Amino acid sequence: MKRFQSFGLAILAAALLSATVAFGADPKLSAIDPPGFQRGNEIEVVFRGDRIKDAEEVIFYEPGVEMKSIAAENDKAVKVTLSVKPDCRLGKHACRLRTASGLSDVNLFYVGALPEMEEKEPNNDFKEPQPVPMGTTVNGIVQNEDVDYFVVEAKKGQRITVELTGLRLGRTFFDPFVAVYNEQRFVLAKSDDEPLVHQDCVCSLLAPEDGKYIIQVRESSYGGNGNCAYRLNVGSFPRPLGIFPTGGKPGEEVEITWLGDPSGNQSMKVKMPQTEGEFLYYPEDQYGIAPTPNRLLVSSLPSAIESEPNDKREEASPMEGPGVASGVIEKKGDEDYFKFAAKKGQTYEIRAYARETLRSYLDPVVDVYRMTNGQRLQGNDDSNGNIDSYLTVQAPEDEELVIRVRDHLGSGGPLCVYRIEVTQRAPKLTVQIPEVQQYVARTISVPQGNTMAILLQARRENFGSELNFSFNDIPEGVEVITFPMAEDSNVLPVMLRAKPDAKLAGKLVDVVAKPTKEELKLEGHVLQRSMLVRGQNNRDMWGHDAERMAVAVTEKVPFHIEIVQPKVPVVRDGSMQLKVVAKRDEGFDGEIRLRLLNDPPGIGASRSIKIAKDQTEANIPVTANGGAKIGTHKICVIGSAPYKAGTVEVSSPFADLQVEDRLVDFAFNKSACEQGQETKVVVGLSPKRDFPGDAKIELLGVPSGVTTEPVTVNKDATEAVFNVKVAEDARPGKHTSLVARITVTQNDEPIIQTNGNIELRVDKPLPPKVAVAKPKDDGKKEEAPKPKPERPLTRLEQLRLAKEQGM
């Protein structure tokens, strides 16, 4: 089994690494060994990955951990000395490794309160387990078909708590299993997929007698590999599996109850923080503190607690709307009802917080009814991939609405805790950073003396407004170039430009979006998801949510790119060639791939264009459809090139792309011609705008054997007439692939519009008529044809005939 290695104090900073070494761009970080450490200590860890030999800094998303020194062992391993403050928050932390050439992906590590030790092999025999003192965190790895055993000693009645962090380390799809045995090999407790800790494990019991207790750790189906790392916390610390009630108001002291602890339910008083939102609460008593938190919710809304009986609509517990309420689906088949006074025409948002947010055992289903007649108005089970429930409902009258809460499978129990929240629809704003590579969270690396651009996306809910953006804590020497986001747009290109002497550095930038309408008092920040572990069908199993954008100034790269500003617009149903030029440093002749950062509405651009080796320019074909948004659009081009065993990217400065209406509207008529003949194809013209000089119109897409010449028209022309020649061997049939292209030259550049749907039918010539030869006269008379014998009448016909003759 892989061991975590221990190293001496790292004293060599990355800034002192030899500049002659060819470092790698596009750094990748795959693991941190060990994956966690005790707070209040200084520890040396190893960051493992690829192309990281030029590492200079660790960027932390949460406070409490500082980098003291950094030194690269090779291109795949970097030694880092970290100082973890005594008051550092316990549990999950996220970081990125910044190198001279870029930013790595996010990796996780955990901070604990207990002394730490490493798993030591061999420990796969139940009879020879590895001894572990109570109050210890063990860092280990489960290999394929591996089973690890540890032994602790406990007194009768002592609480033994085991919490394992495996999947939550974010390395791989690891499904751990934990069991606690007595010395006679009887299972006293076991855990697999505990809701509180997602797919990880928690076992907690009171020791039935003085003695030794063996802890088994394995993969649930006896799999495993070198990435199946775990942190095993063993001690007498409290580990409630649920908390009730589910939160309180800002600054309020709330009496809560721990649920699911083997020593029984315990009541504690907890002061809520002053800010609304999620509160990470760490249960603590005289025996220790839980290694990871329970979650509570802080809200200034009026709160209520269910009062039994409330399992019928007529017995619904009262709450306010807007307001929140806490409850428990206590037994199998249980249902809880709440009622609130609603206003006619008001739209309410109703959320159930349970499994997804509170890590409850409950999979909630919510339905809303009218109190007066029991009519069901709305219901929801899972909402947009979230196992919790969310719905909106509009009150038909001034009346009480009733909310029903139940479990999806009709289950229940003391750990099926939930929170119902009723709010009125309100404006909300979130800023997102779209992925360029699927499942890879985007970062921004700006080379010295160069520019880089990124696309931001705004998610507006329940309001419309232009948005202004600000960027706080940008690296020194970096300028942000942007402009307001239009009300009818949800994307915004943002450019960052670094001075040639900007210091290599990295920052987590707070991006703030605010509506320009003064009456809208809200702001939005970045919410960026890094999917670290994906399950079946790429389901998001574990990851990290960042509220800031990672930006770094990186070392100079050997090229710049620039768009040659077009002198003419692109028109609807038109096209143009967007010219991009590269300025190369001496000695750099690599291929540069080009793509537009984003396509304006209705605009399409090729993403497969390259500036070839030793070349300095290329054209990107750009097309505008018939509904392209008219106006001036800011565009830029991203150029990527292989460099130092990786890939680097830069952007061009912004250029303006002007989109205008069509030059003309075409009217097409059907035409037909025989092989070997000529015909005229008439295309009607309805000018949409003036244009200087004459325009050239061509017929394109004519079939083989058919030829025509362009025609020239001016802005007053109402039709274009084409002389079409059809060869004798032209392919016959109906041809519908013909299009008309009009080209106008302005400022020495072409404006091109193309429209199709012209039908030309090529017919084969009719065969010549053949004269019919007269029969020869041989002197014989033709015999008159013999009359056909008359058919006998039927009896019915005979009777009808007799009636007609009056017989």
The residue-averaged pLDDT of 292-313 equals 95
Are 27 and 104 in contact by the 8 Å Cβ rule? The answer is yes
Percent of the chain with pLDDT over 90: 87
What is the pLDDT confidence band of residue 806, given thresholds at 50, 70 and 90? low
Confidence band (pLDDT; 50, 70, 90) for 766? confident
Show the tokens assigned to 386.
Answer: 């979230």
Work out the mean pLDDT of the chain and round it to a whole number.
Answer: 92
pLDDT reported for residue 784 = 60
Question: What are 192-212's pLDDT values in tens digits?
Answer: 999 999 999 999 999 999 999
The predicted-structure confidence for 670-685, as pLDDT tens digits, reads as follows 999 999 999 999 999 9
Q: Residue 2: what pLDDT?
A: 37
Confidence of residue 720 (pLDDT cuts 50, 70, 90): very high
3-state secondary structure of 315: helix
The DSSP-derived string for 534-552 is E-GGG-EEEEEEESSEEEE
Residue 16 has pLDDT above 70, yes or no: no
CA dist., res. 392 & res. 378, Å (int): 8
Name which of 44-48, 439-443, 791-795 the model is least confident about: 791-795
State how beta strands 253-259 and 266-271 pair. Answer: antiparallel
pLDDT at 300: 96
Average pLDDT in the 406-422 region?
A: 96
Question: What is the per-residue pLDDT across 162-179, written as a single tens digit (0 to 9) for each?
Answer: 999 999 999 999 999 999
> Above 80 in pLDDT, residue 344?
yes
Per-residue pLDDT at 250: 97
Give me the pLDDT at residue 1, please: 39
Per-residue confidence (pLDDT) for residue 768, from 0 to 100: 77
What secondary structure letter does DSSP report for 12? -
| Residue scoring higher pLDDT (777 or 426) | 426
Q: What is the DSSP letter of 485?
A: B
Rounded Cα–Cα distance for residues 97 and 109 (Å): 13
Where is average pLDDT lowest: 7-16, 22-31, 505-514, 780-789?
Answer: 7-16
The per-residue pLDDT for 778 is 62
CA distance linking residue 319 with residue 421, whole number of Å? 10
Q: What is the mean pLDDT of residues 551-571?
A: 97
Q: How many angstroms separate the CA atoms of 619 and 659, rounded? A: 18
Backbone angles phi, psi at 355, to 5 degrees: -60, -45
Over the stretch 586-630, which tens digit does the pLDDT of each residue have? Answer: 999 999 999 999 999 999 999 999 999 989 999 999 999 999 999
Which of 17, 25, 21, 55 is CA-nearest to residue 557?
25
How confident is residue 774, by pLDDT bands cut at 50, 70 and 90? low
What share of the chain in percent tops pLDDT 70? 93
Query: Would you say residue 17 has pLDDT above 60?
Result: no
Specify the DSSP class assigned to residue 160. Answer: E
Record the pTM: 0.86
| pLDDT tops 90 at residue 84 | yes
- In tens, the pLDDT along 629-663 reads 999 999 999 999 998 888 999 999 999 999 999 99
pLDDT at 785: 62
pLDDT digits (tens, 9 = 90+) for 130-164: 999 999 999 999 999 999 999 999 999 999 999 99
Range from 106-115, 645-654, 681-690, 777-786 carrying the lowest mean pLDDT: 777-786
